[in-house]
Amino acid sequence: MIYILAFIAAISLLFTGLKNTLRALPVIAIVSVLIFFLGSAFITFLPIILIFIVLRLIFGKKQTRRTTKTYYYRNTNTNSGNAQDFEEFFRQAAGGNYGNYQRQTNGGHPGYVVNKDKYYAELEVNKDASPEEIKKAYRGMARKFHPDKANNLDEATRYKYEAKFKQINEAYENLK
């Protein structure tokens, strides 16, 4: 039995390091006792156990990817010529809409600001909407795209509802 414990501890030490191995030592001891007493049953059912693990990995619940990105733009409050040339270039390229920024209030990179236009578009409200209008739009969209509404639909639709709900929550958190 001590060989089993030493083998499992060595594998754990190899893959997780000393600190995590020491933290997991009680679990390793229990597993080694179970393998010692139930070893024949474990070896008998090992192919079935491996098949279940592989099937779970292949057909298990897939994590949705985060589809939105937050873009940061350098805050150019200096009156240098380069900053003005840069702003003028983008003003012309964007049709005069360059520089419509709002202040970053919840973390992010210091000296940078977040372009919140996508959040307003996500909640389908105007940029000059009041906090009450934003809250009302958020609640309506959250009700419409709540993942619980898609429980009896196909898996792809459930993932779309889940992703949309996450985007709505992110938009509301950044606008409130």
> Is the same domain home to 166 and 92?
yes
Confidence of residue 138 (pLDDT cuts 50, 70, 90): very high
Whether the model clears a pTM of 0.75, i.e. scores above it, the answer is: no
> Is the same domain home to 8 and 78?
no
- Sequence length of the chain is 176
**Which range of residues forms the domain containing residue 156?**
72-175
> Is the same domain home to 126 and 157?
yes
Which CATH number characterizes residue 156's domain?
Answer: 1.10.287.110
For residue 88, being part of any structural domain is answered with yes
> Is the same domain home to 26 and 94?
no
pLDDT of residue 104: 44
For residue 6, being part of any structural domain is answered with yes
> Is the same domain home to 52 and 94?
no
Q: Which is more confidently placed, 61 or 141?
A: 141
128-135 mean pLDDT: 89
Residue where one domain finishes, among candidates 59, 80, 95: 59
Burial, 149: exposed, middle or buried (Cβ in 10 Å; 0-12, 13-18, 19+)? middle
pLDDT of residue 40: 76
What DSSP character marks residue 153? S
What is the total count of domains within the chain?
A: 2
> Is the same domain home to 87 and 150?
yes
Contact 32, 4 (CB under 8 A): yes
Question: For the segment 46-55, what is each residue's pLDDT rounded down to a tens digit?
Answer: 788 888 878 8
